[in-house]
Amino acid sequence: MSTLADGVRAGRVRAVAKAITVIDEGGPEAADLLTALWRGASAATDDAGDAADVAAGCAAAGAASAAAAAGGAARGDPLSESVRVIGITGAPGAGKSTLTDLLIERYRQQGLRVSVLAVDPSSPFTGGAVLGDRVRMNRHALDAGCFIRSLGARGALGGLARPARGAIRVLAAAGFDVILLETVGVGQSELDVMHVADTVALVLTPAGGDQVQATKSGIMEIADLYVINKADLPGSARLRHAIADMLHVRAPDVASGGDLAGGVLGATSEGVASGTSEGQWVPPVLEVSASRAEGVEAMAAAVAAHGDYLRETGQLAQRRSRQRLQELRERFRESLCLKADRALVEEPALMAIAEAVLERRVAVEVGVEQLVALWEPRKAGS
């Protein structure tokens, strides 16, 4: 995998595409590749003497301790603070792909290298996915400074594909300045993007519900900026005020809906979101029309302002540390689940308990207690 990792670090498109395929397929090869990228980034950090570019990578590579992951002591994660990871989420049909296409154009005009991970829903019957999100971004297909990759959700319920974190590290190692992460169409509780992205843009539409919907917990709580797309449709102003009122209820020092200027909460006289209030980030509420390419400049400015805020306050490092620890926990649980599933069909004592539950001789709750009682001593002694 070291040769493939070298190709990724050199920014070769074929190597990047193959590496993400390896990550998508999973298994030992994926872990080997991520370890090679992590070690390569560590060596580059040592050569540069850049003590600020530190990260933990052990959740992806499995090569360091949990303490190092929590404390950020390990070095070498290719996802440095100079790379922007922007999550774009929202309900199906909200216009996420069209907005992503316009953001690509904006960042390319700035001379930045841009990559996109677009997650598409998978069939619950065949496991296949149409992978159609990138169709709306086809005009960038021949741009050498842009890389677009679709991933199937494959049953993941949080709005992302399981390989997304590893794919982000591949893209960061390849030298992309901006990584746009577009989720599947989500509901109120698909929140995984908050555990991966630096900035989360929640795309809403005027037809997306009333004020009660705006005040519900879940997806509305994780946004760093709210983007009301299709703002040329009726109901946009009402939704904007509902979101602002929600923010005011949750943080009384935040302006209420009546204090909005130009569709941006905390807007300056130039109409660019300031995004902060007494040192705290205030999620801007933006009105855009992706079909008319209107409001994208303000959205890009708000994303940039949030990134600056995270870096200047030190919250970017803190957020990524929490994300690495979350990844470590998830992968640890997945590993234990795989071993437990295998044990249930391979080990006679555990199989006997499962058979007793199937034959209704033992309640499920009792069966679980018996399985845990057998499992824990064996794990402690291994």
Beta pairing class for 280-281 and 276-277: antiparallel
Question: What is the residue-wise DSSP string for 161-187?
Answer: -TTHHHHHHHHHHTT-SEEEEEEEE--
Q: What CATH number was assigned to the domain covering residues 84-315?
A: 3.40.50.300
Q: Return the pLDDT at 257.
A: 42
Hey, how many other C-beta atoms are within 10 angstroms of the C-beta on 5?
24
Q: Return the pLDDT at 62.
A: 36
Tell me how far apart the alpha carbons of residues 78 and 56 are, in angstroms, rounded to a whole number: 10
**Distances in Å between the alpha carbon of 203 and those of 122, 308, 375?**
21, 21, 45
Average of per-residue pLDDT across 194-223: 79
Residues 224-265 have pLDDT tens digits of: 999 999 998 888 888 898 888 888 877 665 544 434 333 333
Lowest-confidence region among 85-89, 158-162, 171-175, 293-297? 158-162
Taking 90 as the threshold, does the pLDDT of residue 72 lie above it?
no
Q: Return the pLDDT at 115.
A: 96
Tell me how far apart the alpha carbons of residues 359 and 351 are, in angstroms, rounded to a whole number: 12
The pTM for the full model equals: 0.80
Taking 60 as the threshold, does the pLDDT of residue 200 lie above it?
yes
Q: Return the pLDDT at 201.
A: 96
Lowest-confidence region among 44-58, 87-101, 132-146, 158-172? 44-58
**Band of residue 129 on the pLDDT scale cut at 50, 70, 90:** low
Q: Return the pLDDT at 41.
A: 62
**Distances in Å between the alpha carbon of 161 and those of 52, 83, 130, 131, 139?**
30, 20, 14, 12, 25
Tell me how far apart the alpha carbons of residues 137 and 180 are, in angstroms, rounded to a whole number: 12
Taking 50 as the threshold, does the pLDDT of residue 64 lie above it?
no
Which parts of 41-134 are beta strand (E)? 84-90, 114-120
Q: Return the pLDDT at 70.
A: 35
**Distances in Å between the alpha carbon of 357 and those of 116, 336, 342?**
47, 21, 17
Average of per-residue pLDDT across 145-155: 86
Average of per-residue pLDDT across 155-168: 84
Tell me how far apart the alpha carbons of residues 9 and 62 are, in angstroms, rounded to a whole number: 20
Q: Which of 149-158, 186-195, 271-280, 284-293 has the highest mean pLDDT?
A: 284-293
Tell me how far apart the alpha carbons of residues 34 and 55 are, in angstroms, rounded to a whole number: 14
